[in-house]
Chains A and B, each alone.
Chain A
């Protein structure tokens, strides 16, 4: 039933630190976050970990377990063998505050750089009429629990700190797609997606989709469709021509 597991946990403050070894009891049915909490209660009372709902719904306990971004509360111990050493580190892409807690302010800053939902001025609350099929695409993206693991795993910023200013990360490129597909949003988001928020940096290698705990198809349903929408605008002379002709004929009639 219960056994002693070998854990290596990164501990340190402000970047400096190292992997520390622990041997800790594991009981049936536990998840990695339980083990971290057991370490807190028994061996390392000041071990820092961020967590909240413990049910995979709030996206607080993002960490890297054996090198892969995971939610601590959703990674069951039964997925590891008893002999295995389990390595737990903070998310690598963001500055570390202490132990497993990182400073995720990059994400909040990016959130603020994306222009908000912009409804037409003449529609009043209560007057919105939308069909289910028209909101479903954006609804998928709104399942996002903002664990920021997609932004963490994305090599564009994980491996290239210098790209951070010009790249919103999968989470917020998906936010742009969500708004661009919103039936009532009137803001033009295509140019800025490419020019300001770095959609072009994305090389669709799909790591964001692989790590998403909500199983949102970030790449196929948000990023690629957004790239296609940008291509409509910026890289497709046929569409451009078509629009011109169409506009002219419709303005005539």
Chain B
């Protein structure tokens, strides 16, 4: 079984043709984890027993010649801020170090009924706050292309696991770029769906007006298959929309794609971008031109303010969402508990000990921008600027169907390079966070197939679509990969 070029479809065909059994496949993946994860540290927790028993069930179905769904037996990695019932779910935070989830997230439920297999839970920046996975409360994940560099974040563990063939695909969550940026850094595909497309029930909330769950995969087609499976409204996420996605998600017709006009936003091609990144995106545009797609320069004038806007709105929501974590209801931190004399004292000690530096910084910043005397200047202003940023896209989409940009201003940076200066870390989100503010779907696609062990760092480009037009960006992406 050759892992390098395995996709969901080829995995499925391999199962059906009895090239390998589901159990054999799972064991190959666990072997890969055993030999690779010592140096990469993508996983926080493995779910080996459950995975094996699930694989055995699928093998029994196959032996009885019963039909199995496309995702049956497909080994997935799950970001550790997504709940799996009965399993540890930490969000890479000390405050949840001992927390056992009491229910399945909706996305997990859906993947379970599609008979996918969960290999384990992957590392992230604590509560998904960061762009490098260095903010994990437990360990630093390394980029499989260069172990001295970060895999990106916050879904760095999921992206690294897929890149290093320690999972066939993965789930991450994207609040300001946390699926697309690690996708770009690790040379894999990352899709951030439209706000409301996927239920967040069972995702540990960071910033509720921005969070979306999205797939990380080796190919656009795999990302599309996973997205189709997890999409849909449920009664536990009131922001959900029951959009009826057609099979076009999996295969858009070429004559439809060829009619698309692609916008090049001039504000996304300014100074401060790595030369290699610009070259990569230009290379991608050249390839897309061979599909006869038309390009047009457009303007998104408020792009410049997206970082400020995002880092006011996200911390404000974080300060509210993380109020629920006091080290009592979601398991306890024992050594702290013994010392506290009063309830308030326990709150202070648990949150002081349990939250890492970045989480504290964002809670304090969020508390500040919401406080009396500052609310209007920061939070209220940011909400208005957010509307302007969104309106830029509404205007642009009157002229074009899809927008192209770099996913990140640089390729993977070195471990430790940005940890001392939080603002420099925030600036990594410059091309991804406007999309969350506007609630749009976007995908990061590697410019080309990069070789693990080669000395080239991956570069990704981003395609941004109209709301609920995931089929457009997935369609272009699927044709792009075939060029």
Query: Is this pair of chains taken from one and the same complex?
Result: no
